[in-house]
Amino acid sequence: MRAKWLWMTGLTALVGAAAGACGQGQAVFNVDVLSFLSDSTVPYDVPGGVGPVDSTVSKRFSLPGGFSRSTVDSVSITGAAGLHNFSGGGTVVFDVFFAKNQGSLFTGTPYLTASSGHVTGDTTLSLIPPQTVSLADTVFHTDSLWVGIRARVTTDLPPLTHMIGQVRLTELRTHIVLNDKFF
Amino acid sequence: MRTSVIGIGLVALVVGATAPAAAQGLIFDARRIGMGGLTLGRSASLVRYNPAYRAVPEAADRRGRPRVTIPIPLGIIQFLHDHPHLSTDPAFHPDSAGFNPILAVNTLLNLPVYLEVKKAPTPTNDVVFAIGRNELRVNLGAAAQLVPEDQFGFGGSSRLLDPGFAIKGVRVSVLGWLHYDLGIQLGDTLLRFLRDSFPASDSTGYSVLGSGIAEGGLAPTISYAGRVAGDSSTGLYLGGALHYYFGAAYVRSNVTAGFRTDSVIFGGTNPATPFDSGLTSYSKAGNSPGHGVGGDVGIAWISGPIELGVGVNDIGATLTWSDTRQDSVFYRDSSFSKPFRSHVSTKTKLPVSYVANVTYTVGKTTLGADVLNAGRGATVHVGGEQRLGLIAVRGGVARDQRKRIEFGFGGGVRFGGLGLDVGFWTHTNSLSNERGVTMATSFSIY
């Protein structure tokens, strides 16, 4: 059994050893998080004069095995979204969260955030939050991760005029640098 | 499990990178190191691979060859100084946070017998992975050059002992023999993925092809070596040996192992499904022994300052194993093997190995060259020695099994019956594309 395991693990080991052969170099993971999201659109329909009201989508995705035993050096996150407001008026704040579990996903400070400012009527605009960089982020010290997108809507009066629209995520990438022990 | 993965990773790299070192064997003689590994006289490869050399007189004094060489293992001293608590040194323990796989592999590749005066630099680039739901790409950077394009491994045949008696050039003996070979080759898709940073495709297999064999036994042998023409200064020597091989045991395995990507690589919980398949054949000790016949031939010609020789071993050495069991190997959630066939007849073949050498001696100058193939590719050594009174100066060039050129140089000083030699030799055995330099030292007794 052990001999057979040798053959089976040889392939993985070859990759690992070759990567390990990079001496003090780091393992860098560029993850296209957007591609993991089956639904990257957050619709909203909020009566006037209320808010903030949250509309969210979330998704769990897997990272390659090894993250849980690695030391995360840094994580930088880049994102972009498009807002299409169909009717009504107010503000939309677009947030992106990462968490190890779903329960804690939309708590705390978002990794990315961008505000539409005041919009009214049929309006289309881009939301491009600044890239964030965090060091030694333990959230990414795991083999699977939750990503959540939130549209936080605050509407204008009158109440009968709903603010209707959607935020569509157009880009979400993470650049994760591991220090060691990936393999 | 992680320990196993790392361990096998080290093994895989060691297997690949030690090929040249294993084939040429460890050299403890600083004189040979200084001549790029060139063999002069009756030592090492010549007598082993050319049966005619058993009859060629030593003429040790002619080339200033020592009778005994005692290596001075400065490398061990250096290693123990750097790692005084080896058994607890975290750098060599995969479970430790301080584990250094590069150091561990390079230590195995370059056993610390010699002093490493210039360590080959290891690539220190980042490794970049691009990951998406249906995307996986790896860029190993400069380290990609370390991924072997061709089959890599090591192997050869050894003769462990050869007790016997000789009467007038005819010798009857019993030879202990051993044949081993381990080869690994990356499949095309895996090679492109690792070396060329080619994106992984979904529903695609990425595999390694592995083959290995080990067999050993005894061989009653009758051989002849003698001078058939000329005299001790100018003569033609022939040698030959006929072996009847008894194989005590053998095992041979051919396995394809790897993984298959999912229909959407990261679409589910299992992006890659491992697979393996193969056939292992073996005959345990106690089963019917393997049988086979093979032979060696050799010729050496000595004419004053010139010496030529060619020897070939294990010609036609095919063994038949009449009681072989075969097991199939496959993967279903984990690896299994099950009996495939029993009591079948299989054949194995010892590799034909050869050596060709030429030596030219004039005055206090000796020049030489040899080509040695111990079963896994030829190595070439060209070198020479110039003796200047008490001092000797040496140099040489070698082409190893990876077809890389290595350089040797060195010198020695002799006081009466005692000599001290130093040799430097470049090598590419480390996890690096650049050469390192080792320094060997040895005492010689003349």
State pLDDT tens for residues B268-327. Answer: 777 888 888 899 999 998 888 999 999 999 999 988 888 899 999 999 999 999 999 999
Domain count for chain B: 1
Return the number of CB contacts < 8 Å for A and B. 162
Q: Is this model's pTM higher than 0.80 or not? A: no
User: Do residue B9 and residue A35 have CB atoms under 8 angstroms apart?
Assistant: no
Q: Tell me how far apart the alpha carbons of residues B126 and B139 are, in angstroms, rounded to a whole number.
A: 9
B331 neighbourhood in chain A, CB within 8 Å = 8
Q: Residue B274 sits in which domain range? A: 2-445
A62 neighbourhood in chain B, CB within 8 Å = 266, 269, 271
B431 neighbourhood in chain A, CB within 8 Å = 21
User: Do residue B431 and residue A26 have CB atoms under 8 angstroms apart?
Assistant: no
Q: Report which of A104, A93, A95, A89 is spatially closest to residue A160, judged by C-alpha positions.
A: A89
Work out the widest C-alpha separation in chain B, in whole angstroms.
Answer: 80
A160: closest CA of chain B, how far (Å)? 42
Higher pLDDT, B294 or B11: B294
Q: Tell me how far apart the alpha carbons of residues B439 and B426 are, in angstroms, rounded to a whole number.
A: 9
pLDDT band at B11 (very low <50, low <70, confident <90, very high): very low
A29-78: pLDDT as tens digits = 899 999 988 788 889 999 999 879 998 888 888 777 666 667 788 899 99
Residue A178 tokens read as: 């591991």
Per DSSP (E only), the strands in B187-305 are 205-230, 234-261, 272-283, 290-303
Task: Return the ∠ at Cα B38 (arms to B37 and B43), rounded to 5°.
Answer: 100
A151-173: pLDDT as tens digits = 999 999 888 889 999 999 999 99
User: Do residue A8 and residue B207 have CB atoms under 8 angstroms apart?
Assistant: no
B332 neighbourhood in chain A, CB within 8 Å = none
For the complex shown, is ipTM > 0.85? no
Identity of the residue in B5, B146, B207 whose CB atom sits nearest the CB atom of A21 = B146
CATH of the domain spanning A26-178? 2.60.120
Q: Tell me how far apart the alpha carbons of residues B225 and B315 are, in angstroms, rounded to a whole number.
A: 17
Residue A151 tokens read as: 């549209």
Q: Does B11 touch chain A (CB under 8 A)?
A: yes
